[in-house]
Amino acid sequence: MTEQTYDNFADHYNFAYLDEQTKRMIRRAILKAIAVPGYQVPFASREMPMPYGWGTGGVQVTAAIIGANDVLKMIDQGSDDTTNAVALRGFFVKTTGVEATTKTSEATIIQTRHRIPEEPLKANQTLVYQVPIPEPLRKLEPRETETRKMHALEEYGLMHVKLYEDIAKYGEIATTYAYPVLVNDRYVMDPSPIPKFDNPKMHEMEALQLFGAGREKRIYAVPPHTKVESLDFEDYPFEIQKFEEPCALCGAENVYLDEVILDDKGARMFVCSDSDFCEDRRENGHVGHMAANPITESENRGADA
């Protein structure tokens, strides 16, 4: 955390765009959030030079904690290269001058939308989540006064009503994203729209996890080494998504895969959603079954069949 002004690119910006008073206010909210794991702390969210859907909550949290020596990684659905990730990374590089990276292991701050990196995070790292809707009870109980009371009194029966309905309707818990968790045996929390595949990574994570919701003006946190449990039933235990095949490019197993459509004939492949993880493996000589030339190979296979 630093008070300096970075004036190389644009001297009309304060370091990390926000003024120091705003950053202090956000840091106080973050400290409170860390002190009460999973509890949503209200904060006076500021206008940011980007639309809400772009993760202004995460941006404000990052802006409040970033210092000149940090190394920043920005990911969107596992990728460093989407428009959103590139723009936000550019924003921070321009307003702070910090070094940016795509390598998970080199980053000290990782701001993310919808994924947790595959590589386990370490104690010197902070993961900042962009959160659209922070209230896990919202869909079931629209009244804010009531949800606040439910959190205060630990009245979470309604969360299980939702899971009950899933099983009654679909024969299993059909929730696959933003799957609710119980933090530190106390607060039920929405982990943001990460796939439930990533939920177990939150449990006892070495890194600090911070969550920022800009439009809804809430910050919450999971401090390092905190118990994070996915809600379930005894006879319908929580399970993560399973993939039939390894990553087509790097051969990784037990990672989250995205389906990629290759042509309009229905050819497709499954590849790591975490693009840095995949590249790293390929650099280290791991080869998936479609690594050489995915297009040709699938055409060949199509012809054989």
Give the active site residues: 38, 247, 250, 272, 278
Among Zn ion, another protein, none, partner that 18 touches (CB below 5 to 8 angstroms by kind): none
Site for another protein in 126-155 (CB under 8 A): 149, 153, 155
Nearest to another protein of 149, 301 (CB atom): 149
Nearest to Zn ion of 105, 184 (CB atom): 105
Helix (H, G, I), strand (E, B), or coil: what is residue 60? helix
Shortest spacing between CB 285 and Zn ion, in angstroms: 13
**How many residues bind another protein, per CB under 8 A?**
18
Per-residue binding letters, 211-240, with another protein (x by CB under 8 A) = ---------------------xxxxx----
Shortest spacing between CB 135 and another protein, in angstroms: 17
Among Zn ion, another protein, none, partner that 266 touches (CB below 5 to 8 angstroms by kind): none
Per-residue binding letters, 160-179, with another protein (x by CB under 8 A) = xx--xx-xxx----------
Sole binder of Zn ion in the list 116, 202, 272, 290 (CB under 5 A): 272
Task: Answer for the pair 297, 304: CB distance below 8 angstroms, yes or no.
Answer: no
- Cα–Cα distances in angstroms (integers) from residue 66 to residues 4, 18, 23, 85, 117, in the given order: 11, 11, 10, 17, 20
Among another protein, Zn ion, none, partner that 247 touches (CB below 5 to 8 angstroms by kind): Zn ion
Per-residue binding letters, 280-299, with Zn ion (x by CB under 5 A) = --------------------
Nearest to another protein of 154, 206 (CB atom): 154
Among Zn ion, another protein, none, partner that 272 touches (CB below 5 to 8 angstroms by kind): Zn ion
Q: How many whole angstroms separate alpha carbon 273 and alpha carbon 76?
A: 10
Per-residue binding letters, 246-265, with Zn ion (x by CB under 5 A) = -x-xx-x-------------
Nearest to Zn ion of 264, 283 (CB atom): 283
HEC letters along the chain: CCCCCCCCCCCCCECCECCHHHHHHHHHHHHHHHHCCCCCEECCCCCCCCCHHHCHHHHHHHHHHCCCCCEEEEEECCECCCHHHHHHHHHHHHHHCCEECCCHHHCCEEEEECCCCCCCCCCCCEEEEECCCCCCCCCCCCCHHHHHHHHHCCCCHHHHHHHHHHHHHHCCCCCCECCCEEECCCEEECCCCCEHHHHHHHCCCCCEEEEEECCCCEEEEECCCCCEEECCECCECCCCCCCCCCCCCCCCCCCCEEEEECCCCCCEEEEECCHHHHHHHHHCCCCCCCCCCHHHHHHHHHHHC
Among Zn ion, another protein, none, partner that 250 touches (CB below 5 to 8 angstroms by kind): Zn ion
Shortest spacing between CB 158 and another protein, in angstroms: 7
Binding site for another protein (CB under 8 A): 149, 153, 155-158, 160-161, 164-165, 167-169, 232-236
Binding site for Zn ion (CB under 5 A): 247, 249-250, 252, 272, 278
